Structure 1
């Protein structure tokens, strides 16, 4: 990974995507039938998060996710010098569905049955652009305060603060949001980077979807959900990425 004073690429950019750095974490561990994959086409400079969300097996619930693998060397990211995450989601192949970006600062040993023990997750929900519409690629800036703590899918307002010096996992998730979504999904991501909030970013658009409002989608034409910032912003900040 390469860093400068304003930007640290976690995936993409100076830290090229690798399928080996990710693994599936789907609802099959709870008896569901959903499946997810993360493809990293050679030379494409992006990752494709795709799969099928099946909500029939779990009575309207379900999730499909890909998470970063636990690393023996450098097991965590220290992003305490930064103000939030910046991710670019691409129009190509987008489906207009709601996705969740998740952070974890704690990973516990597995249970005797080899299942993961539950820990607090820090979540941010967003809508992908539609590949067949007039929308453009989206660059989202997510300050740390926009990541909301949950435990086993429920809000955890009394959770300790996210340990930014010890981020252990990053995940991309597709879930039903109480039966509102199901079936095939596809999301293309160019990069995920930790960034400092600078004057160039002061006029950023409002969050596409706040994690605190999980009831559904923003109304069409309301707020700033369809706006994007100038594409040159991260190029200027990180010095080389287009």
Structure 2
């Protein structure tokens, strides 16, 4: 599949920071490596689940000032990531959106948890390409567990985004690597026919939200939006 044609700024590691389970006494670690800022960024590291008894997570999160005072996604219906297969594995990853301010840190210096809006995905046997994530399919969680009573996601004010590798309660561990060419917002064209739109909906719902491959061609029928591509994606 071809790389999205959007006007994006190069990847910048200073716009991301590590949030790993070390804040809870774990030993997992993550990095965002950028060898070619105009091509792709690689989220990689090691997920340790033994220290915390089967649990564990490693993530990269956007710095607070990147989206301040809040990113408005209300005009868009999907996020699309373009994956570079050469440096990516088949583990399950999670893209997270946050619409709430960070709470004051606890007396021990640890951050307090707030609700996340999450979308799980993996490449499986795919060779990479675009992964389409409908915003309506992001699910609320609190400390890794479903939070069905959460208030609706405030698309008018997104404050942060994270890319996470987690154990899913002991299901995966060890080294991981995910290479991303870009992350962009997308609005489906009004001209999409019903069969294509239904395909997109089914893709987002399969395997409890895990996308096995991208929707080849769907993204090209809509308009690529530059708000996120210009901030978080490489330009080709």
Taking structure 2 as the reference length, the TM-score comes to: 0.81
Size of the aligned set, in residue pairs, is 219
Give the secondary structure class of the aligned counterpart of 2:64: coil
Are 2:97 and 1:116 aligned? no
Following the alignment from structure 2 to structure 1, what is the Cα–Cα distance between the partners of residues 106 and 138? 27
Match of 2:217 among 230, 233, 239: 230
Deviation at 1:138, TM superposition (A): 2.4
Q: Name the SS of the counterpart of 1:233 in structure 2.
A: helix
Q: Give a deviation string over 1:64-117, Cα, whole Å, max 9, x none.
A: 111101117733211111112111122111111100000000122333333212
Change (3 A) 1:120 1:236: closer
Q: Judging changes above 3 Å, is the alpha-carbon distance between structure 1 residues 33 and 125 closer, same or farther for their aligned structure 2 residues?
A: same
* Counterpart residue number, 2:135: 144
1:105 and 2:96 are equivalent in the alignment: no
What is the aligned-residue RMSD (CA, Å)? 3.0
Aligned mate of 1:52, from 27, 46, 64: 46
Q: Identify the residue that residue 71 of structure 2 maps to in structure 1.
A: 77
Partners in 2 of 1:77 and 1:119 — Cα distance? 18
Q: Using CA pairs under 8 Å that are at least 6 residues apart, name the structure with larger relative contact order, 1 or 2.
A: 2
Asked if 2 retains the 8 angstrom alpha-carbon contact of 1:27 and 1:64, the reply is yes
Q: What corresponds to 2:14 in structure 1?
A: 20
- Residue 37 of structure 1: which of 17, 22, 31 is its match? 31
Flag the structure with higher helix content: 2
The equivalent residue for 2:203 is 207
Q: CA 1:98–1:208 in 2, change beyond 3 Å: closer, same or farther?
A: farther
Do the aligned partners of residues 183 and 209 (structure 1) sit closer, same or farther apart at CA in structure 2, a change above 3 Å counting?
A: farther
- Does 1:188 find its partner at 2:179? yes
Residues 151 and 93 from structure 1, CA distance in 2 versus in 1: closer, same or farther, beyond 3 angstroms? same
Shift of 1:234: 7.6
Q: Secondary structure at the match of 1:213?
A: helix
Separation of aligned partners in 2, 1:90 and 1:194: 18
Long gaps (5+) in structure 1: 1-6, 218-223
Inter-partner Cα distance in structure 2 for 1:93 and 1:47: 10
1:4 counterpart residue number: none
- TM-score by length of structure 1 reads 0.79
Deviation sequence 1:121-172 (CA, Å, 0-9, x none): 0000000355xxxx32221111111100001111100100111111111000
